[in-house]
Structure 1
Amino acid sequence: MQISSVNDVKIYNLSHGKSLPEVRNIQRRIELIQDFEMPTVCTSIKVSRDGQFILATGTYKPRIRCYDTYQLSLKFERCLDSEVVAFDVLSDDYSKLVFLHCDRYVEFHSQHGHYYKTRIPKFGRDFSYHYPSCDLYFVGTSSEVFRLNLEQGRFLNSLQTDAVENNVCDINPVHHLFATGTSEGRVECWDPRVRNRVGMLDCALSIQGLPSISSLKFNGSLTMAVGTSTGQVLLYDLRSSQPLLVKDHFYNLPIKSLNFHDPLDLVVSADSKIIKIWNKDNGKVFSSIQPQTNINDVCIYPKSGMLFTANEDPKMNTFYIPGEYMALGPAPRWCSFLDNLTEELEESPESTVYDDYKFVTRKDLENLGLSHLVGSSLLRAYMHGFFMDIRLYHKVKSMANPFAYEEYRKDKIRQKIEESRTQRVQVKKLPKVNKELALKLMEEGDDEAELASRKKKGKALPSILGDDRFKLMFENPDYQVDEQSEEFRLLNPIVSKVGQKRKKKLRLLAQQAAAEDEEEPEGRASSEEESSDDDKSWVEEVREQRRLLRQEDRDRRRQERKEADRNTVLQPQFYQIKAGEEFRSFNDMARKQKLQKASLEDRLKLEEQSGTSNVSDTAVGSKQLTFTLKKSEQQRKQQQAEREHHQERKKLRRSAGHLSSGRGRGWGGGRGRGGEEEEEAGTEEGGLGRSQGLGSEWTAEAFLAKSSSKNLFVLL
């Protein structure tokens, strides 16, 4: 239960109870009707004429719930095929119900449940029941007003209006005048006895803009209230076309509900944000109720101070406004205990719900060692922290710091001693924080005190050092002024010049106090000229400070780049060889010439020993590249097989000494000369023989070894 007071009127929200802290609210919560809520949203709510049953429609799924006030609980629940736009109770109890659905269907329910279902030609928005003729009047997205007679069980001739669409309708309970509100801002009145229009009221002429009619309600035989889509309520006397009173909600939201409270001559109007209760004679506000969620419908329990609201929330709110003088009425008979309860609350007001709880942040929980309680029932999350029981907090606080009381006691004793010392002779003592600022303020205070002492009627201004509002500036180290910061250095020239002007002003005032009649000597610069010179000087100082700051910033960035270059490890580039021989020097011309003069046999032997091959190209600047040739596994196997084959041939070869000819054809087309050994080399071994221009002999085995390495030689 939540108590609020608006315009000295106490309003009790009996449905309030699930806010924080929840444990405390369980002790104070009043569950007036059990399960008085919807699964998602409640769209409309009504009370039967006998006052025993409260019926509400909602979603999702679309349904109707009936609550028995004598049992304070849910009586029955029925699910529907589609959402309900409007419904009405035709009988004194819940036995005859009519529902207008959003899909144009009109559904009738009896005491046992669903009874009949029919359909209207256009989508409906509202309907009213005419008791004398048993006619249902349906208005909607059409200019016609459809009539369904429940006694005959058939549709009758429709009423043709001048409007494009009709939003709401109502029937006067005294003389049964039927009125419909249009989307053009007009109210058309019809006599059901003759089915003729008896009058038209243009409400848009009384207010600015082109509002449509969003709600309509009769009170007595002559009073009618009209709610507009722009948030105004107009009270009319049926005998006049001018409104008696125009009440604005100032929210520019459509008026959704209108009710009259006859005992106090009040009007209860509601839009989606607020419920306003005001006097219908002068428009003076009696009270107002603003729920936490948007409002869909408002229903006043007859002859009582209780009202129900259907909200965009599962819970349906119940408000009660009691009191001896300023009250809507007593509590209903089925909950008469509310009067005694509210009287006790007024006599002995209870402490607020947060007195027994301590608000702690997550950092406080870490300091107390209670982080493991997050998510448990001992902590209730709220905003950026948690609520916990004050007794638990004090107990954990004493365990976490058992000497807290001793420290508190010593601190209090120290404060008492310091207060007693104030009566003694004070010695100027600089604080621990911002000593320079304190010294400057002391000097300025002394100058002002000296000036005030010279003037008889003067009075020194209070010092910042003696002001309790600024004492933390000289006690807390977090307020220490950093004189090396950029902000201070840019602001210091201005502050220093202001201080110099202040001192100069004090000196001038002192001179004026000494000799008030003394005039300014001739040739002396005026104060305005001096101030302009001072302004130029401090502007130059600020520019100089800016230049120094920029220079320091450049030096700092330069130093950072040097440190970064010093700590940078150079990575090898793509042309650098990480393994094997590196590039040889381009200037080693003597070694190159020596290799060029050597024979092909010597150069090949050197290459066999080093396992490398050199390629020289004089066309690109005599650059030399050294690389290592890698043989595949297949090439190595082929060479091994060739070597084994030649070894077998050597074992099986025959001597050719008996041949007379000393000249043989070498292997591969080479021509050999010499004796028997040369013939054997030329015929059987397949040697190259001695070529002209070469200074050595070569065997076929050596040639095959070099040819497999993909080296090409030109034999001259």
Structure 2
Amino acid sequence: MQVSSVNNVKIYNLSHGKSLPEWLSDRKKRVLQNKDVDIQRRIELIQDFEMPTVCTSIKVSRDGQFILAAGTYKPRVRCYDTYQLSLKFERCLDSDVVAFDILSDDYSKLVFLHIDRSVSFHSQHGHYYKTRIPKFGRDFSYHYPSCDLYFVGASSEIFRLNLEQGRFLNSLQTDAAEINVCDINPVHNLFAAGTLEGRVDCWDPRVRGRVGVLDCALSSITDATEVEGLPSVSALKFNGSLGMAVGTSTGQILVYDLRSSHPLLVKDHYYGLPIKSLHFHEPLDLVLSADSKIIKMWHKDNGRVFSSIEPQANINDVSLYPGSGMLFTANEDPKMNTFYIPALGPAPRWCSFLDNLTEELEENPESTIYDDYKFVTRQDLENLGKLENLRSLS
């Protein structure tokens, strides 16, 4: 476990440390644990919480019991049971996963959008059905009242697949060349799609008509930002009935009130990398935005920085465990990171011992890397040089 402090906020990296190979025998693992200090300090919160090569996306079920992750190579999905702290099952897939979603409270209803235009449905026992969409997809959302799946991708159309009737419905036609992301408001079910031209089209599923357009590309360019190229929409997330955050491909986040076409706040990551994930943390009114390099936590009212996390590997996806201070990251690395931030909230019920562990670390802080060193000035160095000369003369 690695402890860091950013802006006086303690961040515990529970995945830090060496991972033991699976082919090692139990005897060799015990020998390594007795010799290596890093392995002794390692906390294996969930067993085998990693992928063979790369993890592309990660999600937590609504009941909080299961964590599902998609990765490669070979393409697969892994489900972890938090009550057992171990891997529940693993399923290999035919092609890489672009996006997936959990339609049920547990893992019994899963939908996968693949890189080859196919859409596969999985039930509790395994693979259930597979179909294809007309164009390559990039994201999708599920509309619960009508049982419609909305697919967006390399097309100006939004494809609708009704799961109750088992057939495709009339598509929604947009003015965009391509659509990158989409999301559905959980309160009034407004459907929003982020386009390649930097606009957000809002649709009312009840009338299947567009009700509003937000020009995020123009609004993201301010005096404090340096934008190279056209900012397209790369991330989208609703917050309640009226709030929404939009991430651009040039590294800006725009916070909107849906009653206005102008953003309340424009936040810049200053890395110029596309925003990959957006989350809202309601108790503290924070926004968690992530690009491939860093996760930034900041106040949505004024943009003031709360803290930040910079993993060693590039980030593909971020999932926030509901009602807690724990978050998971899918990285360009076999290991999936687990971060615990007590300032965001308590530990989940299935690992409540983390609260006691962090309290003990607060009472008995370990020495940092600079405790055995002294920072000296230029005058101190000159005095040291004079002392060395006197010693050489004597």
TM-score (norm 1): 0.50
CA contact (8 A) 2:197 2:231 kept: yes
The one-character-per-residue Cα deviations of 1:316-345 (angstroms, maximum 9, x if unpaired) are 0000011xxxx1100000000000000011
Match in the other structure for 1:71: 84
Is residue 342 of structure 1 aligned with residue 258 of structure 2? no
CA distance in 2, matches of 1:261, 1:17: 28
Distance 1:72 1:245, change over 3 A: same
Is 1:199 matched up with 2:212?
Answer: yes
Q: Map of 1:107-506 to 2, 5 A cutoff?
A: 107-208=120-221, 209=227, 210-322=230-342, 327-351=343-367, 467-473=383-389
The 5 Å alignment of 1:510-525 reads none
Q: Within 2, Cα distance between the matches of 1:133 and 1:163? A: 25
Deviation >4 Å, runs of 4+? 352-356, 473-477
Q: Percent identity?
A: 83
Distance 2:252 2:212 in 1: 22
Please report how far the alpha carbon of residue 250 of structure 1 lies from its aligned counterpart in structure 2 after TM superposition: 0.3
Provide Cα deviations, 1:603-632, integer angstroms capped at 9, x if missing partner: xxxxxxxxxxxxxxxxxxxxxxxxxxxxxx
Kindly provide the CA deviation profile for residues 153-192 of structure 1, in whole angstroms up to 9, marking residues without a partner as x: 0000000000000000000000000000000000000000
Letter in structure 2 aligned against 1:253 = L
* Matches of 1:12 and 1:471, distance apart in 2: 44
Instruction: Supply the AA of the counterpart residue of 2:6.
Output: V
Matched, 1:88 2:101: yes
- The amino acid of 1:287's aligned partner reads S
The answer (yes or no) to whether the contact 2:220–2:254 under 8 Å persists in 1 is: no
C-alpha distance after superposition, 1:331-389 (max 9, x if no partner): 00000000000001101123458999xxxxxxxxxxxxxxxxxxxxxxxxxxxxxxxxx
- For residue 59 of structure 1, what is the amino acid of its counterpart? T
Cα 1:345/1:155, change in 2 over 3 Å: same
SS at match of 2:357: helix
Aligned twin of 1:434: none
| Aligned residue-pair number | 363
Q: Distance in 2 between matches of 1:82 and 1:344?
A: 46
Local SS of the residue matching 2:36: helix
Q: Distance in 1 between matches of 2:69 and 2:244?
A: 26
> In structure 1, which of residues 42, 45, 51 is the aligned counterpart of residue 58 of structure 2?
45
After TM superposition, give the deviation of residue 17 of structure 1 in Å.
1.4
* Corresponding position: 1:11 with 2:11: yes
Q: Where in structure 2 are the equivalents of 1:683-694 lying within 5 Å?
A: none
Shift of 1:271: 0.3
- Counterparts in 2 of 1:29 and 1:121: CA distance versus 1, 3 Å: same
- 2: CA distance between counterparts of 1:470 and 1:40? 56
Q: Deviations over 1:575-621 (max 9, x none)?
A: xxxxxxxxxxxxxxxxxxxxxxxxxxxxxxxxxxxxxxxxxxxxxxx
Distance between the aligned counterparts of 2:371 and 2:252, measured in 1? 42
Query: Counterpart of 2:63 in 1: which secondary structure?
Result: coil
Residue identity in the other structure for 2:346: P
User: Structure 2 CA distance, aligned partners of 1:40 and 1:203?
Assistant: 36
Whole-angstrom distance in 2 between the partners of 1:186 and 1:348? 51
1 or 2, which has the higher helix percentage?
1
Which one-letter code corresponds to 2:301 in the other structure?
D
Aligned to 1:59: 72
* 1:145–1:159 Cα contact (<8 Å) kept: yes
C-alpha distance in 2, partners of 1:315/1:15? 8
Residues 198 and 217, structure 2, Cα contact 8 Å, conserved in 1:
yes
Q: SS of the residue aligned with 2:273?
A: coil
Q: Contact 2:234 / 2:248 at 8 angstroms: preserved in 1? A: yes
How far 1:470 moved relative to its partner? 3.5
Change in Cα spacing, 1:473 to 1:298, as seen in structure 2 (3 Å) is: same
C-alpha distance in structure 1 between counterparts of 2:156 and 2:18, whole Å: 46
Alpha-carbon contact 1:24-1:353 (below 8 Å) kept: no
Higher strand share: 2
Aligned partners of 1:305 and 1:331 also within 8 Å: yes
Q: Specify the code of the residue in structure 1 equivalent to 2:276.
A: K
Asked which structure has the greater CA Rg, the reply is 1
The answer to whether the 8 A contact 2:112-2:120 is kept is: yes
More divergent stretch after superposition (208-217 vs 101-110): 208-217
- Using a 3 Å threshold, how does the CA distance of structure 1 residues 242 and 472 change in structure 2: closer, same or farther? same
Structure with larger RCO (C-alpha < 8 A, sep 6+): 2
Give the superposition deviation at 1:27.
1.9
Deviations 1:74-105 (A, max 9, x none): 00000001000000000000000000000000
Cα distance change, pair 72–354 in 1 and its aligned pair in 2 (3 A): farther
Shift of 1:475: 5.7
Matched position secondary structure for 1:205: helix
C-alpha RMSD of the superposition: 1.9
Quote how far apart the aligned CAs of 1:206 are.
1.2
Give the aligned residue type for 1:55: L
Distance 1:169 1:354 in 2: 46
1:27 aligns with 2:40: yes
Cα distance, 1:467–1:214 mapped onto 2, change above 3 Å: closer
The DSSP-based 3-state class of the residue aligned with 1:263 is coil
Please give the secondary structure, in 2, of the residue aligned with 1:267.
Answer: strand
Gaps of 5+ in 1: 357-465, 478-716
* 8 Å contact from structure 1 (residues 296, 309) kept in 2: yes
